[in-house]
Structure formats: C-alpha cells, structure tokens
Amino acid sequence: MSKRTRFLRELFAPMQFRCVCCGKDVFDETGFCEQCKKDVAYNNGKTCKRCGVAIEGEEDYCGNCAFDKIYFDRAYSPFCYEGVIRDVILAMKFNNLGGNAAVLARYLVYVAQREHLVYDAVTYAPMSRASYKKRGYNQARLLAEEFCAILNNTDLLAECIVKVRDTEPQEKLSRAERKTNLTGSYRIHPAADVKGKRVLVIDDVKTTGATLNECAKALKRAGAAEVIALTVASRRENFDYEKSQE
C-alpha cells in the first residue's frame, strides 16, 4: 500500500460519530448518515479552472473569473453550497458546532492531497473583532486548525489576515453590493511574514468569492507569491442562490 493510499484510508477510517447534518449516531467514514448522504452535493463534476465552482457548458472559466480581477491563483471546494451541506455549514457558523469542523476538515485535506496542493503557510479568512466577540469563535479558523492537526506537519499562520472594519453580512446583499462591500477591509498583520510564500487560505464557504478575493488581494500586496483558496463549499454557477435561501 502506498503512503498516500494509507493516509487516505486513515483519513476516512470509519468512526463512531453523530451525522453532521441530523445528529443521528452512525458508524461510517463519510460524516453523514445514509439518509443525509443522499442529499450531499459533491463538487466533483466540471469546475472553473480558476475558482473551482461547478460550471456547465463549454467554457473553462465561470462568469466571475472571465470578467473580474481575481487575486487568488486557484480555489477548490469539495462540496457545492446547497442542500444538507449548506445546513451543516450554517450550523457550524451559528450554533457553535465545532464538531462539524473536524469532519469537514477531512474533506479539505482530501482535496489538498488529491490536487497535490503545495503551500508554505496555512491561514484562514478572518472575522472583524466585533463579529468575533459576538460569536466567540471563527469557524474558518476552526477548519484551518483541524486541517493542520490532521496533517500535523503544517503550522497554522494565525492572525495573519486581519479584518479591519465591520461590513454588512455578505448574505444580506445583492450580488453587485457584495463585490464592493468588502473593498479595503482586510490587511495583513505586520508580524505575519508572507513575502515570497505560497499561502493556503481556508474558509467555510465561497459564494461570490468576494471575501477570498479581498484576502488574496491583501496577501499579494504583502508580497505573497501565490494564494490558494480552499473552502468546504462553493456556490454552483447559475445556481439560484437567492431563491434557495427562502
């Protein structure tokens, strides 16, 4: 058995846990019970070559990447942001379900291995100080911590990207507003040395990609050589996101 095969077997070893969607006790390797598993949208079809969202048709790039200035070099997500995956992420975000981060981080590691991602530092999308105080934790940081813990040869660059001002929650804005809402709201902590480094940025979800794009912009300005974004889920191109929220 190759080292990689053994690693993947261990990564997805069956274990006793509660289904991340419904909480039912299961013994499984996926993190989902049989019922919820049916509704999991894996992002394993055709994806945009730049930002990794699920796309259809002939083009290599999604509408965003074809027209916008994108600062990250590549982005990947194991899941599409819909159905049970959306519920799991929202639960992690708003109901303090850190256990979900442990399961979901295994999928991030899986993608990082599958895509042979090479990076010098791992960090995460930050929250503003006020939001952090209110929630008490940052789910992106939890994911990044779990990610580094599984790989145990990777150090987390904590407090690297700083959100300097509070912004309207992205999910409450129109598509156009989302693109400008975050402009200039991220900077790199002076103590974080990213110069010449390939930085992996972890976040829970990528919808328009505006958050990750602003983070990547700040990293590039601070001298990062490459920025790779890794999120649990991303929106599918042309998926009626607004409608699915109702």
Question: Which residues sit at the interface with Zn ion, rule CB under 5 A?
Answer: 19, 21-22, 24, 33, 36, 48, 50-51, 62, 65
In the complex, least distance from residue 204 CB atom to Zn ion, rounded to whole angstroms: 18
In the complex, least distance from residue 77 CB atom to Zn ion, rounded to whole angstroms: 11
Which is nearer to Zn ion, 59 or 120 (by Cβ)?
Answer: 59
In the complex, least distance from residue 62 CB atom to Zn ion, rounded to whole angstroms: 3
Q: How far apart are CA 83 and CA 115, in angstroms?
A: 25
CA-nearest of 198, 236, 229 to 75 is: 229
In the complex, least distance from residue 130 CB atom to Zn ion, rounded to whole angstroms: 31
Which is nearer to Zn ion, 73 or 193 (by Cβ)?
Answer: 73
Alpha-helical runs (H) found in the chain:
3-11, 34-37, 63-67, 83-94, 98-114, 129-135, 139-151, 175-181, 210-221, 241-244
Which is nearer to Zn ion, 218 or 229 (by Cβ)?
Answer: 229
- Residues contacting residue 70 through CB under 8 Å, at least 6 positions apart: 50, 51, 64, 209, 213, 216
Which is nearer to Zn ion, 84 or 160 (by Cβ)?
Answer: 84
Which is nearer to Zn ion, 92 or 121 (by Cβ)?
Answer: 92
Q: Please, which residues bridge with residue 200 across strands?
A: 122, 228
